Amino acid sequence: MSGLRVVPAFRHGRERLYVCRADGAGVAWYDREAGRVDLLAEDERDAVLQALHPFLTGPVTVGPPPVPTPAELARLTLHPDDDLAPNRPGEALLVALDRHPGPAHRLRPDPRRRALSAEQAVGQALDGLEGAGWHTLHSVPLPGGDRIHHLVIGPGGLFAVHALYARRTRVRVADPMVALGRRDAEPLLRPLRSAADRASYALTAEVRPVLALVGPADVTVTAEPRGVRILRDPELAGLARLGGVLKPADVEALHGMARDRNVWLRV
């Protein structure tokens, strides 16, 4: 018996099997999706493979972990208070509601809660793209109190996504105006373009704006908005089919830059 044990864990949405000694020290990990065993102790190769044998699903590559890229090293040195990656969808609204929940009894629902449900629905859809090589940052703060609801980075480029609650409501879009039901139209596409432009400046890469409508009954677009995609929340998964803009290394580098809160202070 080698004395090694296998412990399953999830990291960035992917399952890994960690091989540990009796004292808990790790000696290797197995990534099924990549078909690779990263080995920290070469002299324990045979024992590691023996311990993993019941879990191997096909041929594997065995070797030392790859050398971290500059982007990965930058993430490792990022202070936790400056790292935006842990932000939940609707993080800013969650904090605001926790600090100021509002009166217990009100005649109308708190509009912040509707906005939160929209951001959470869109965020969940975008987080589902991670397996296709995409990354999403939520509630990216901008100077002046503005924020980008969701910043999406992947093979198809970069997108600033604004979530809009439209449950069972008719939506009319006439650039730059957006009207929900019988409410007066508002120029929502202007601040959306502005946020995308500010993100482009911060990251020195083109960021395209997207308006994500959550649960609309009907959408009427009188003329295709300039440079803005209008998507219903189920259509967000289609972003995964876009490609040919960024290489994987570029995606990782831009994600590493964008998750640093300090990057956004200059826009």
Alpha-carbon distance 118 to 212, whole Å?
9
CA distances from 71 to 68, 136, 204, 250 (A): 8, 16, 16, 9
Relative to beta strand 207-214, strand 157-165 is parallel
Share of the chain above pLDDT 90, in %: 64
Report residue 17 as tokens. Answer: 């099997």
Beta-bridge mates of residue 164: 213
Mean pLDDT of the chain: 89
56 contacts: CB under 8 Å, gap ≥ 6: 30
Global pTM exceeds 0.85: no
Q: Which tens digits make up the pLDDT trace of 69-95?
A: 666 666 667 788 899 999 999 999 999
pLDDT digits (tens, 9 = 90+) for 202-246: 999 999 999 999 999 999 999 889 999 999 999 999 999 998 899
